[in-house]
Structure 1
Amino acid sequence: MSNRAQKLVDNKIASKKVMVFSKKFCPFCSMAKDVFRKYLGKELDASDYEVLEIDGENDCDQIQDYLGTMTGQSTVPRVFINGKCIGGGTETDKLHRQGKLKTLLN
């Protein structure tokens, strides 16, 4: 695992209220991003939200490996709110439908 990948992931998570590690053509990634679009400008300021499309990164595999080490899952998306991994697309959508995501964002 590259030191750059680890630093990148750690810095991104620390710098944003909501950090999503994603791949452009992943349907579960799209699901998570669609959920967060509903909160932008309301409970979630755009400056507090970032999506990193890791398939555009040279060290994509190392980023995914490090996310797996951190969270126990190397699949994307990996969604972090206030530094804590809440899971992937299915979990994000479920929290939204249960009304719990709004609470996590406040």
Structure 2
Amino acid sequence: MGSFISSRANMNESLAKKVEAEIVQHKVVIYSKTYCPYCVMAKDVFKEIKVEYHLVELDEHPEGSELQAILHKMTGARTVSW
């Protein structure tokens, strides 16, 4: 997986690097919001098929909105369920 450094303008570099490390370290990473029904469905699917995943609940994380901004830059998606 390539680095997303070129698309990180005005972002917290260490937090962006942490996101990249999580993605590399885990087979499945879910960035979720606890109240999002689509996120709940995604988590349920992985539980059903017994695939472990690394979970980051953005609405419970102290830097959740910044993480979501980093993910938006990386993926082009504003929502957490895509």
- Give the structure-1-normalised TM-score: 0.62
- 2:4 aligns with none
Number of aligned residue pairs: 72
Q: Distance in 1 between matches of 2:73 and 2:13?
A: 14
Percent identity at matched positions? 38
2:16 to 1, 6, 26: 6
Q: Distance in 2 between matches of 1:23 and 1:4?
A: 22
How far apart are residue 61 of structure 1 and its match? Answer: 1.3
Greater helix content: 1
2:60 to 53, 56, 67: 56
3-state DSSP of counterpart to 1:51? strand
Greater strand content: 1
How far apart are residue 28 of structure 1 and its match? Answer: 1.0
Stretches of structure 1 lacking an aligned partner (at least 5 in a row)? 78-87, 89-106
RMSD (CA atoms) = 1.3
3-state DSSP of counterpart to 1:20? strand
